[in-house]
Every structure is written in structure tokens, then in C-alpha cells.
Amino acid sequence: MPAPASATYPAAGRRRRWTTFILPTYTWAMILYLMAPIGVMILFGFNNTKGKLNVRWQGFTLTWYRDLFRIPDLTGALKNSLTIALLSTLIATVLGTMIGLALGRSKFRGRGLTDLVLFANIAAPELVLGSALLGLLITVQVPRGYGTILIAHVMFNIAFVAVTVRARMAGFDFTLEEAAQDLGANPWTTFRKVTLPLIFPGILAGALLAFVLSIDDYIITSFVAGQTLTFPLWVYGATRIGVPPQVNVMGTLIFLGGVVLAVLNAVFARRRTL
Amino acid sequence: MSKRPEQKPQRPPIIDPALLRGLTQPRLSRRAVLMGAGTAGAAALLAACGVQGSSKPATSQGQDAVAKFWAGKSKAGVLDFANWPLYIDVQKVGGKTVHPSIEAFTKQTGIKVNYKEVIQDNDSFLGRITPSLKAGQDTGWDLMVITNGGPLEKLIRLGYLTPLDSSKLPNFNQYASPRFKDPSYDPGNKYSVAWQSGFTGIAYNPKLTKRPVTSFQDLLDPAFKGRIAMFGDILDTPNLTMVGLGINPETSTVEDWKKAADVLKRQRPLLRKYIDNAGEADVLSSGEVWVSMAYSGDIFQLNSSGAPGIKFVIPKEGAMLWTDNMCIPLHAKHPVDAITYMDYVYVPKVAATLAENIDYITPVPGDKQMIQQDAAKASGEDKASLEGLLSSPLVFPTEADLSKGHRYRILTPQEQTTWNRIFQPILQS
Amino acid sequence: MRKRLAPYLLILPGGLWLAVFFVVPMVILITLTLQSGNYEEGFKLTWRWANFSDALTLYHTQLVRSLLFALIVTALALVLAYPMAYWIAFYGGARKSSYLFLLLLPFFVSFVIRTAAWKFILTDEGILLGPLKHAHLLPQNFHLLATPYAVIGGLTYNFLPFMVLPLYVALERIDHDLVEAANDLYANRAQSFRRVILPLSVPGVFAGILLTFVPTAADFVNASILGGTNTTMIGSIIQTEYLTFNDYPIASALSFIVMAALLIGVFAYARALGTEEVLEVSGA
């Protein structure tokens, strides 16, 4: 039964104003606000700046794209970040997927504890994770450097991958596995040909998340890096003296790379989900 | 008209409910608790050993040991040199910054110098290198410039510096002023030779303050509210504050430190910010700050590089007098190159160039003649600035000037902790 | 037999890594809080509980400030994110994912760079304040950098997605039939929002608040790039105490206090909200 017209008509007008004008405009304004620093970053990667400070627009140039690797420390830091991200993603994805699988599939005695540890790892602020790990390194007198950064990155990434994979397993149809085994497949084949392809989007999403978290990490890295520099550490140091345009260019390229990866992931995921 | 949201594949819940359940239902099985206790016990046992200290017994390295160390080494052709900002001659050549004295060094000796202005303050730099030194590793630096009055003594005490072979320092032995030879903080120059000496005082912009600034109290003047800057440095700021209160830092007690801390706390609302150790140049020249703690040479450099209005003063209560010293950390990769450079800067001509550009108290009095010669040859602005240099008490101080300088308080490790805990919360707020 | 062992074997490698590099450090953190000594002479476990009171006396200002900033930022983020999440979830239509994508796009850039970009935008004579000062809309010595406002602004910006995403997910799941039903029962717009949509979105609000408050309280990068005096956060203090002053007991005590404060806050909030109901309602 339709509602009395007098009650809904003014409400309908108000609703349209909110939903057709105010909220959408607000959302677009917020999107612009969120993009603002990115726009600035990209723009000033083209700035023909002469001084050390990249603050005033002085003309368009592609110099910085050409001279991208002119600052050896910066290039070294970027290389460190990329290699650490790749390695830690690899290791964390393998370890985390295994945990996610175990949690998503069976009930076992350590389950509650594992849940708790994973949750604590994700919920704990980076500050605490970093400082605690530093405490371990100090006590055991392990020198800080590339290796310890790698260890730290794997440490905080395992939980993210595990949770992502486990979530993906939430809707998993275990009868498929049973069917495969009924048809004579051993557990490894079952995993390889049935389980893995189905949870692959989850694994990929977890890996992507791990990569992004690793390449962008500042706080935990700053505690355990010693004298080694990663890209965020270098940029942070540079904010005190003046960030060179090469940083803008690198940021732009990483940004574009991330966008491409995300788009690919979305396309891939949609195809995969039949 | 209802619109069903399109069916999407299974999506992860916002927070995995099982995780959340794990959190809010604290029921661990007995086995889990035991496992947890086991891990905790093992870790606690490990940690009960505590953290090892780093002091080694003061090794009185015999001359033989020192000679043996240097005997096997030779020039590597590379030098990693860590220094403070604004502490060497600079020139802008085609948009790039170059250091003529370093280029001359490279030309003469063939040693390439990686010159990095990475030292912002002693404590944070030491904080970065001491872990490597403690672990017996190379810090990545062959040569560094460290201040006396605490940091340098700490490094010597911990045995983290490479002892120097005085036979490799002929220019130093010949030309250095007696004041810098065999100083109390490094007898016999076993580990270091002076780089430059200087005053920590006050700098101000007379156009903005509209009156001369002469005393430490001017840093506490409410008329300058929001326009004052202090170093966020746990060495200079507390010491200078004590001098400003009429206390001699070298004999100060914990009570005196607390008095200084109170003054600093009361000053905080008037501050624009705590700055880094070369930051006073920036904030004064931009007008962001009107009065600031400052290093004598920084202001000189500032004057000759485009901000002539800024003035440096030694407060009437006194200033801090310190010496920055070149030293070689342990396990440096290229020690011979480092000591070659150390000796190189004591050649009077080179010392003159540095003095002309850094404008601090030079350790080579002989370069005064050189500078006089340069002044005679120069003309116009250059001549005026060189003559100003020659007559400046900040570069060639008289005994009277030096008497207004105070030395830092030397702290034992326990005192260091107390000192840090008194001042750090204020400076880091 | 193998089947029963399987989960344990799967968990072993990752679990071991976490045990050694996460759980053990946490325990060591706790033992460090009770040690005393100094860098040169070493630290010993002396059960010095006074480390906690020392840490609080020395740095309570920064501690409180961090928690306060985090509260403000979380509230701000909630207010800013909710209308966006609501509109996209209910009216985004086929382009929902695109809007989300656009929203999250900026966060592919390193967060240090983003914050540095904000420092650039907010400089005293920069592209934002410069024109406003020229037009005399702002006093000449107005400055945003080195004030708490810049820090809060930066924090809100950087942690907005942590609030938007959970909100969006919760809102998106709300069965539109429920809203239909409310309308059929003569509820007007505001009422159906207040009594149907809002309560159903609470799990998202909870998740968003959790994911925003905790990291914000522990962040110090924003404060150190955008802030000045009177904006230092506890994270900066902890870092300096560890790395520069090597005052491990105080540093660990502070870390522990931060962790405890955050945990207590989260637990209390979860209890108050009744997590079981939250989970039920969210359809988990």
C-alpha cells in the first residue's frame, strides 16, 4: 500500500537534493582533496627548479626523468626498498598462505592461539612492533641492516597475507576437494589443481597488500634499519633539507606502477571468479 | 522499487569474526597457555641477561700497537667524510654546489672525497654509528667531525676511535696553534685534531627586533613571543641556559640543571620552534624568527651569502666555547686517506681558505698572514669581508674574548642519563 | 595421521617466524621495562617498576597529546568518511568500485611523500596560504605548519581510507530490502537512516574506529614533518630514546604504556559495543 502522498512528497524532494547534489558533490570534493598532494607530487616532478628546494614552479622540464638516478644514495635506497619488498612479499606470501589455509580449513588445537597472535600482530601499532623487535636485536647483539629490515617486513606481512587468504577460504567449497580425492588425487595434487587455483585471487590480493605495505613502511623500518636506507627513510631525511625532484619522479612511477597492478588484479579477479 | 545489489563473490568480513572472537573470548587451552609460558620463560631468561654494556677498559695502546696498525695500511683513493652543514667552503658553479678546498685536495693527492653533511647534532649521529662500532663493524665513515665537551670524550672512553700516528701529521705538528695541541680532552692528540673552534651565542635580525640584543635574557623576552628559536640540542641549549643564569656549567650540579630546565620550560610558550644545529641560518634569513641561539661561524657565512643584516653577539653573561675535532672511527675502511686529509687542512694556505669561508676560530694562527695577503690582493666587497675577518674576535679571538667562553659540562654515563631525563622531555615536546 | 598433522605443519614455518620475531620481542619488551643501567655499562634486570612512573612523569604530556590527537582525528575521519561511504554504497550503482578505486588511488603513493607534499602545500607563502594572504583573507603572519592543526590535518588525510573502507563494506552489505521495508512502514528518510541504516553500519564504524585510532596514536611521521614545538607525539620520543639516547628502559616502558593504553581502549570499546551482537548483525 503506497504511503500517503502528502507525507512523502516533501521528503522525496529533500531526498533528491541530498542524493543527487549534496552527497555526490561532497564525495567528488573529497576525492579531489585526496588527490591534491598526488597532483602536486606529479606536477613538481616536471618542475624546472634550480635550487635545492622544489617549491616554486619554474617551468616544465623532463630533466628529472632523464637524470632519475643521479643521486646515488637515493638510487641505492630505492633499490633496497624494491628488493626488500619483493623478497619479503615472496616469503610472507608462502608462509602466510600456509597459515591461512590451515586456519580456513581445519579445526585444531592451536587455532585460538594462532588467531590471537595474528590479530595482535595486525592490531599492534607499528611503533610497538618495531621497538620490540629492536629490543630483541639489542639483547642478542645482532647488528641492524638489510637483513633485519627483511626480517621485520616478513614479520608484519605474514599476518596480513594469512588473514586475506583465510577470508578467501570462507566461502570455499570443500566438497570440491573431496571430489578430487575421490577421483584418486593425492593431497598435493588436490591442492595444486583444485584448491590453489580457487584461492589464488586471495593469495594474489595478500601478496599485493604485502608488497605495498613493505615498500611504504617507515616506522618499523626506522627502528631496525641501522645505517641502511630504504626509500621512505631517505625521503623522510630529505624533508628536512629539501626533497629533490627525483623523489617526485620516483613517487610518480611507483604510483603508476601500483595503479597498473591494481587494475590488473581487478581484471584478473573478475575473470577468475567465473 | 528495490534494487538488489549485484551478487558479488564472497567478500571478506570487515574484521575476520574468528579473529575478533579470538580476542574477546579469552579462553586459551591449557596446552596453549603452557606453550605460551614456555616461550615467555625462554625469552625472559634470555632477557634476564640484560643488555651488554659497551665500555671497554681504556686501552692504553702502546706506541707499538699504533705503529703496527698503521704500518700495513696504504692509501685507498677514497674518503668518506661526514661533517656538519655549513662547515666547509662552498661555491656555486653552474647550479651545482662544489667545495674548492676538497677539489684541491683531490687534485693534489688523487683521493676522491665523498663529502656528506650528515651530522645534525652529536647525539643523533653517535646514535647512528655506535651500534656498528659496538658490533665491531665499519660505520661507513672514515672521517668525522665531533664536538668536545661530551661526545668526543664518550667516543674515546668507549674506545671507538682509531688512534692516530703522529708521524703522519707533519703539518699539524708544525703549524697548529699551541692551544689546540695536547688539549685536556684528548691528551697528546691521540685520537683527534681540531677542525674549527667556535662560540655558541645569540643571533638576531635588528630590523625585526627593533633593538639590539645583548643578553641571554633577550631569549626570554615576551616582546619576541613566537619569534624565538633555540637549538633542540641537548648539549648547547642546557649549557648555554646555565651560563645565562650565571652558573658555570663545568661545575654545575643536578640542582643547577633543574633550574635551567625550569627556565627552558617557562620559555617554551615563547618559542617559534626548536631548530637543528645549522637551522638558525634558515629561520633568521627568512624572517620566520627574530632572535635565535646561533653558532658564530654560521652567522658569518650567512652574512656573506646574502643576509648581511643578521648579527651575532656573545651574550654578556657569556657564551659556549667548543672545539669540533676530526677523528677516525674504528674499523674505518680508508684510514690513511682520512689522516692524509686531516694533515692537509693544516697547511696554512688551506687553513686560510677554510677560515675565510667557515669563519670560525681557526686552529692555525699562521694563516692570519695568508689572509692578510689575500686581503691585500682583493678589492671591494671581498677585501672588506676579509678585513672584517681579520679583525673579528670570532675568528681570531683575543684572550679577553676567550675568557667569555665556557666549556660544556662533562658527564659520566650515570649523569648522562639523569641529564637526558631532565632536558629531553622539554626539548622534545 | 598425516591429515591430523597437516594444519600444524602448515602453521609451523610462519608461526615460528612470528614466535621469534614478534612474540619473543614482546616479552623482551616487557623485561626491558624493568631494567636499569646505561648504554656504556650495560642494563640489568633489576625489577625497577619505577621506570613506568618515571616514563609517565617525563612524557605524560606527549602521551596525552598523542591519544588526544588520535581521538580528534578518528572523530574527524568518521564524520568525513561516512557521507562518502554512504553515498557510494547506496547510490554508486555500477560504478561503485570505480569510486572506491579513485578514493584509494592516492594511497599508492608512499605515505612519507604524501605528507611531504602536504608540507609543501601548507607552506606559509605556498599555493594555499599565499593567495589567501594576498587577498587579505588571512593575517600576514598566519601559519599552518608547525601547528597542531597541520598535524591533525595530515593525520586525518593519511588515515581516512582506514575509516572509509570498513564503513563502505558494512554499508554496502546492508540489505536494501530492509530499507524498503522501513519505507513501507511509513518511515521517512531520516528515520530509516537513523533506525535501520545507522545501527546496521555499526560494525563498520567499530572497525573503522579501531583501524584509525590505533595507528594514529602511534604515528609520529606526520608530527615530525608537519609539526613543530608542542606537537611532538609519543612515537617520536620512543624512537629518540631508543636510537639516540639508548635509554632502553624508559623507551620500553613508554612503548608498553602506549600498547596497554590502546589495548584497554579497544577492549573497552568492544565490550561496550557487545562484539557478539556486532558480529551477528554484520552477518558473519
Which is it for strands B291-295 and B271-275: parallel, antiparallel or unpaired? unpaired
Q: How far is C114 from chain B (nearest CA, A)?
A: 23
**Cβ burial, residue B177 (10 Å; 0-12/13-18/19+):** middle
Q: Which residues make Cβ contacts (< 8 Å) with residue C96, sequence separation at least 6?
A: C88, C89, C172
Average pLDDT, stretch B87-114?
Answer: 84
Tell me the CATH number at A232: 1.10.3720.10
Amino acid at B313: V
Residues B321-368 have pLDDT tens digits of 889 999 999 999 899 999 999 999 998 888 888 887 887 888 888 777
pLDDT averaged over every residue in chain B: 82
Residues 6+ apart with CB under 8 A from B311: B203, B204, B205, B206, B213, B299
pLDDT of B142 reads: 93
pLDDT band at A157 (very low <50, low <70, confident <90, very high): very high
pLDDT at B243 over 80: yes
Indicate the residue of A41, A135, A215 with minimum beta-carbon distance to C32: A135
pLDDT band at A212 (very low <50, low <70, confident <90, very high): confident
Whether residue B252 is found in the same domain as residue B265: yes
A13 inside domain:
no
Structure pTM? 0.82
- Inter-chain CB proximity A105 and C7 less than 8 Å: yes
Are B303 and B310 a contacting pair, CB within 8 Å? yes
What does the DSSP 8-state code read for residue B307? -
C-alpha cell at A29: 570534493
> Using one digit for the tens of pLDDT, what is the confidence trace for B389-404?
777 777 778 887 788 8
Three-point CA angle C224, C228, C232, nearest 5°: 60
- CB contact (8 A) between residue B20 and residue A139: no
CB contact under 8 A, B21 and C61: no
Residue C253 confidence (pLDDT) above 60: yes
Q: Is B18 within the bounds of a domain?
A: no
Q: What is the dihedral of CA B114, B117, B120, B121, to 10 degrees?
A: 60
Residues in chain A: 274
| Distance from C-alpha of B328 to C-alpha of B82, rounded to nearest angstrom | 10
Chains touching A (3+ CB pairs < 8 Å): B, C
Strands (E) in C72-220, as ranges, are none
Nearest to A265 by CA among A189, A216, A209, A187: A209
Q: Do C117 and A259 touch (CB under 8 A)?
A: no
* Cβ of residue B36 closer than 8 Å to a chain A Cβ: yes
Confidence band, pLDDT 50/70/90 cuts, at residue C115: very high
At C198, list the grid cell: 545507522
Q: Which of A104, A124, C104, C131 is CA-nearest to residue B23?
A: A124
Tell me the pLDDT band of B62, cut-offs 50, 70 and 90: low
Q: What is the pLDDT of residue A272?
A: 57
Contact C28 A139 (CB under 8 A): yes
Alpha carbon of B266 to those of B15, B259, B269, C204: distances in Å? 47, 11, 7, 45
Helix H or strand E encompassing A105: helix A72-105
Interfacial C residues in 149-188 facing B (CB < 8 Å): 166, 169-170, 172, 176-177, 180
Give me the pLDDT at residue C80, please: 94
Provide the pLDDT confidence category of residue A146 given band limits of 50, 70 and 90: very high
Assigned domain for B35 exists: no
Q: Which amino acid is at B249?
A: P
Report the residue of chain C nearest A93, measured CA to CA: C14
Query: By residue range, what is the domain housing residue B289?
Result: 199-321+406-427
Q: Kindly state the cell numbers that stand for A102.
A: 590451515
8 Å CB contact between C150 and C261 = no
Is the pLDDT at B241 greater than 70? The verdict is: yes
Distance (Å, whole) CA C32 – CA C256: 10
CB contact under 8 Å between B39 and C27, yes or no, is yes
Most confident of A246-255, C89-98, C248-257: C248-257
Task: Look at residues A176, A172, B37, A110 and name the one whose alpha carbon lies nearest to residue C6.
Answer: A110
Residue type, A186: N
Residue B3 lies in a domain: no
Residue A3 lies in a domain: no
Cα C170 to Cα B103: distance, rounded to the nearest angstrom: 64
The residues pairing with B115 across neighbouring beta strands, listed in sequence order, are B81
State residue A11's pLDDT score: 54
How far apart are the C-alpha atoms of C113 and C37, rounded to whole Å?
39
Looking at the fold, whether B296 and B166 belong to one and the same domain comes out as no
- Comparing C-alpha atoms, which of B219, B223, B172 is closest to residue B195? B172
Grid coordinates 575478533 are at which residue?
Answer: B20
Half-sphere exposure of C5 (CA within 13 A, CB side): 3
Domains defined for chain C, CATH in brackets: 58-281 (1.10.3720.10)
Do the chains contact at A129 and C214, CB–CB below 8 Å?
Answer: no
Of B67-71, B74-78, B391-395, C248-252, the poorest mean pLDDT is in B391-395
**A171 to B129: CB separation less than 8 angstroms, yes or no:** no
| Same structural domain, B282 and B411 | yes
Same structural domain for residues B87 and B193?
yes
Q: Using an 8 Å Cβ cutoff, are A217 and A232 in contact?
A: yes
Q: Which domain holds residue A249?
A: 72-272
Distance separating alpha carbons of residues B366 and B354, to the nearest angstrom: 13
* Bridge partners, residue B324, by sequence: B147, B196
Which residues does chain B have within 8 Å of residue A112's beta carbon, measured at their own beta carbons? 22, 25, 27-29, 32
At C134-145, the pLDDT tens digits run: 888 888 777 888
State which amino acid sits at residue B59.
T
Q: Is A49 domain-assigned?
A: no
Classify burial at A115, counting beta carbons within 10 Å of its beta carbon; exposed 0-12, middle 13-18, buried 19 or more. buried
Whether residue B24 contacts residue C275, with contact meaning beta carbons closer than 8 Å, is answered with yes
What is the rounded average pLDDT of the residues C152-166? 92
- Looking at the domain assignment, is residue B236 inside a domain? yes
Residue C124 makes CB contacts below 8 A (sequence gap 6+) with B288, C142, C143, C144, C145
Nearest CA in chain A to B85: A241
Q: Is the pLDDT of residue C89 over 90?
A: no
Give the pLDDT confidence score for residue A150 in this predicted structure.
96
Check whether residue B307 and residue B419 sit in a common domain: yes
Quote the pLDDT of residue B49: 62
Would you state the pLDDT for residue B2? 37
Contact list in C for residue B126 (CB cut-off 8 A) is: 244
Which of A10-24, A95-109, B63-77, B184-198 shows the lowest mean pLDDT across its residues? A10-24
Residue A180: which H helix or E strand, with range?
helix A174-182
Structural domain includes residue A213: yes
Q: Give the pLDDT confidence score for residue B12 in this predicted structure.
A: 47
Cβ atoms of residues A246 and A71 within 8 Å = yes
Mutate to test the interface with A, among B10, B117, B119 (most CBs of A within 10 A): B10
Q: What is the DSSP string of C107-132?
A: GGS-HHHHHHHHHHHTSTTSTTHHHH
Number of H-type helices and E-type strands within chain C: 14, 2
Question: What per-residue confidence (pLDDT) applies to B10?
Answer: 40
| Nearest-angstrom CA–CA distance, C19 and C34 | 22
Whether residue B330 is found in the same domain as residue B311: no
Residue A241 forms part of a structural domain: yes
Is position B100 within any domain? yes
C279 part of contact set with chain B, CB < 8 Å? yes
CATH of residue B307's domain is 3.40.190.10
d(CA C39, CA B140): 22
Average pLDDT over residues A118-129: 89
Place of cell 598523542: C66
pLDDT of the residue at A5: 45
- Closest partner residue to B39 among C23, C176, C236, by Cβ? C23
Q: What is the rounded distance in angstroms from the CA atom of residue C216 to the CA atom of residue A216?
A: 16
Cα end-to-end span (Å), chain C:
32
State the residue for C-alpha cell 522499487. B1
Q: In the numeric block, which cell numbers belong to residue A92?
A: 610472507
Q: Establish if B48 belongs to a structural domain.
A: no
Does the residue B44 lie in any domain? no
Partners for B (CB, 8 Å, 3+ pairs)? A, C
Q: Do B51 and C228 touch (CB under 8 A)?
A: no
Q: How many domains in chain B?
A: 2
Read off the pLDDT of residues B252-309 as tens digits, 9 standing for 90 and up.
999 999 999 999 999 988 988 888 777 788 888 888 889 999 998 888 778 777 777 8
In this predicted structure, what is the pLDDT of residue B384? 74
SS3 of A12, please?
A: helix
pLDDT of residue C39: 79
**pLDDT, average across residues C202-221:** 89
**In angstroms, what separates the C-alpha of A88 from chain C's closest C-alpha?**
12
Spatial contact of C18 and A155, defined as CB atoms under 8 Å apart: yes
Residue B275 lies in a domain: yes
Provide, as residue numbers in chain B, all residues whose Cβ is less than 8 Å from the Cβ of A229: none
77-116 in chain B: CB under 8 A from chain A: 95
pLDDT band at B56 (very low <50, low <70, confident <90, very high): low
Q: Give how far Cα C237 sits from Cα of B160, C146, C283, Å.
A: 27, 17, 42
Which of C120, C109, C180 lies closest to C144 in space, CA to CA?
C120
Residue among A205, A224, A223 nearest A270 (CA): A205
Q: Provide the domain count of chain A.
A: 1
| Dihedral angle, C-alpha A107, A110, A113, A115, nearest 10 ° | -40
Contact (Cβ atoms closer than 8 angstroms) between residue C196 and residue C175 = no
- Residue A50 pLDDT exceeds 70: no
Is C259 in the B-facing interface, judged by CB distances under 8 Å? no
Instruction: Give pLDDT, residue B327.
Output: 94
Q: What percent of chain A has pLDDT over 90?
A: 26
Considering the domain architecture, whether residues B77 and B178 belong to the same structural domain is answered as: yes
